Structure 1
Amino acid sequence: MFSGSIVALITPFNADGEIDYDGLASLVEWHIQAGTSAIVIAGTTGESPTLSDDEKVALAKAAVAAAGGRIAILVGNGGNNTLACVRLTERLNETGIQGYLTVTPFYNKPTDAGLLAHFKAIAGATSLPVILYNVPGRTLCDLSNEIVIKLSELNNVVAIKDATADLTRVPELLEKCRQPFHLLSGDDASAVAFCKMGGHGVISVTANVAAREMAAVHGALASGDIGQAELLDRQLAGLHKGLFIESSPMAAKWALYRLKLLDNARLRLPLVDLSASGKNYIEQILKDSGLYPQEC
């Protein structure tokens, strides 16, 4: 079961805009050494809308090879075309990954019946664990507690990433979802509060930049040291906010470049380079958080 600090990994690109597989392997190794619990590739932070299905399969294979069984690799397999999601899932099943993060279908505005049928079709295409992903701020499609509870009855639907920052949802899900079923925050700023209410971890953007620090926060939570977790989390508050000053993952990629963990901060259109003011803001946060190398 997935818990702790799980990173929603960026997708590194080279100067030609193609996937930088050497850069990917380096990031996977960095996260393993930092104590990250699992890695999600081809998610929102991985610029999934700009990745082809072939690229997602290739990313999965490359991440699995780099991980070498030392850390779980999860892949984003969601979308707003159910049949396409099923076909992608069938391909990804053969890559050696450990599970899926499946976002709600965007733009179509499905009914609750449509959401149930959509997720059942995708979960039915694999025997691997599926994490539901609710992020209505991006998709304009909200996965209600009622639907989550129904979907939790499926054998391989094992968790939800809830990026609503609505902590009132947590108690009902803990009480009514089939167990074991893990609740994962998708909002770094409220993740500690989410876990204090019974959540099991976070799928994090901040962990891209502060992997060891996020692992320490969630290690403290797991051991019951809430005070230490809150103290460590306060030191990351600037990052939690700053990495979203412009469309994610623009700031995260710039931060990784400045920390010398990426060769460049390249994104794919329609995302563009972080603004000059954004760069200055992020660099100040890196300094304030103690992450900025002296030589930079």
Structure 2
Amino acid sequence: MNFGRIVTAMVTPFNQHGQLDLVATKDLVQHLIANGTDALVVAGTTGESPTLSTQEKLLLFKTVVETVDGQIPVIAGTGSNNTNASIELTKQAEEIGVDAIMLVVPYYNKPSQEGMFAHFSAIANETKLPVMLYNIPGRSAVNMSVETTLRLAQVSNIVATKEASGDLEAMATIIEHAPEGFSLYSGDDSLTLPILAIGGTGVVSVASHIVGSEMQQMVRNYQSGQVTASAMQHRQLVPVMKSLFMAPNPTAVKAALEMKGIKVGSVRLPLVPLTAEQQQELQTVVHPTMNFFVS
């Protein structure tokens, strides 16, 4: 399955009482589609999945699937550190009509490589949906090895991995030895161009909420051989990408969306809003009239 180049890890909009805001969710989906998003990850880390109940996740999946209406793929974040719970949520998401699922490396439990293989295989075997793996050692406290990723890539419906290890050497090895049709996505916005350069497919992005069209332009330039222009655009986007991680994700990107007039609300505890100083710093980079790629 082709998820495209720029996949947005979508924030979850909340109202002023901290509840799901489904109207704002629909508006956000339309904004993202209009601004270069090729596919959506719903209820991932950026979607504040640790603070969403199962019922909230299912309502979010349903709302996004209905709003997208087949325009782009919807990838449901159904992974957790509980294999049986992930299987159950995956089955429910499949019934709702999502196009694929994303499964994070189990966090906190610190499974062995064999444990990771068994966990992902067990979930993949219980669904017909395409599966994207998600390796993020900074959050899960364990790193999925190249060998385990390549072993899982042999499972027929495990079709992609989101790599947030930052290890380009490991990613190059995965790309080199994975079966045909297996895609590797960057889990870090700032590595989008380097990962394309070593044969990766694209990025699962946070910055695309704000600069999705610009990121698509950068990718198109790279693909059409305008490497120098693409590299310059990448460098121009780095300050935005960096600013969106000045506080624990998705605190800054939610604030940035609000600055651009896109209502998504604040974050849920244990995350807290940006300080006044951070808001000011973010506003120097992200503002409604910002103009990118001016030479």
Give yes or no for TM over 0.5: yes
Does 1:66 pair with 2:57?
Answer: no
RMSD: 1.6
In structure 1, the residue matched to 2:145 is 144
SS in 2 for 1:126: coil
In structure 1, the residue matched to 2:51 is 50
Matches of 1:32 and 1:147, distance apart in 2: 34
Query: Size of the alignment, in residue pairs?
Result: 291
- What amino acid sits opposite 1:214 in the alignment? M
**Cα-to-partner distance string for 1:262-287 (whole Å, 9 max, x where unaligned):** 153x1111011111121111101115
Structure 1 stretch displaced more, 282-291 or 86-95: 282-291
**Structure 2: stretches of 5+ with no match in the other structure:** none
Does 1:254 pair with 2:255?
Answer: yes
Matches of 1:225 and 1:126, distance apart in 2: 41
**Cα-to-partner distance string for 1:235-268 (whole Å, 9 max, x where unaligned):** 211111111111000000000001101153x111
SS in 2 for 1:39: strand
Query: Structure 1 residues 54 and 162, CA, compared in 2 at 3 Å: closer, same or farther?
Result: same
SS in 2 for 1:238: helix
Query: Structure 1 residues 96 and 288, CA, compared in 2 at 3 Å: closer, same or farther?
Result: closer
**Structure 1: stretches of 5+ with no match in the other structure:** none
Query: Structure 1 residues 289 and 100, CA, compared in 2 at 3 Å: closer, same or farther?
Result: farther
In structure 2, the residue matched to 1:97 is 98
In structure 2, the residue matched to 1:19 is 20
Matches of 1:13 and 1:274, distance apart in 2: 16
Query: Structure 1 residues 57 and 291, CA, compared in 2 at 3 Å: closer, same or farther?
Result: farther
In structure 1, the residue matched to 2:285 is 285
Q: Shift of the alpha carbon at 1:175?
A: 2.0
Contact 2:163-2:171 at 8 Å conserved across structures: no
In structure 1, the residue matched to 2:222 is 221
Query: Structure 1 residues 174 and 44, CA, compared in 2 at 3 Å: closer, same or farther?
Result: same
Contact 1:7-1:204 at 8 Å conserved across structures: yes
Contact 1:21-1:62 at 8 Å conserved across structures: yes
Contact 2:260-2:288 at 8 Å conserved across structures: no
Q: Share of identical aligned residues, percent? A: 38
In structure 2, the residue matched to 1:131 is 132
Query: Structure 1 residues 50 and 218, CA, compared in 2 at 3 Å: closer, same or farther?
Result: same
- What amino acid sits opposite 2:227 in the alignment? I
Contact 2:259-2:288 at 8 Å conserved across structures: no
Contact 1:2-1:182 at 8 Å conserved across structures: no
SS in 2 for 1:195: helix
Q: Shift of the alpha carbon at 1:50?
A: 0.5
Structure 1 stretch displaced more, 211-220 or 281-290: 281-290
In structure 2, the residue matched to 1:106 is 107
Contact 1:135-1:164 at 8 Å conserved across structures: yes
Q: Shift of the alpha carbon at 1:94?
A: 0.8
Contact 1:3-1:184 at 8 Å conserved across structures: no
Matches of 1:228 and 1:102, distance apart in 2: 35
In structure 2, the residue matched to 1:194 is 195
Does 1:203 pair with 2:204?
Answer: yes
- What amino acid sits opposite 2:261 in the alignment? K
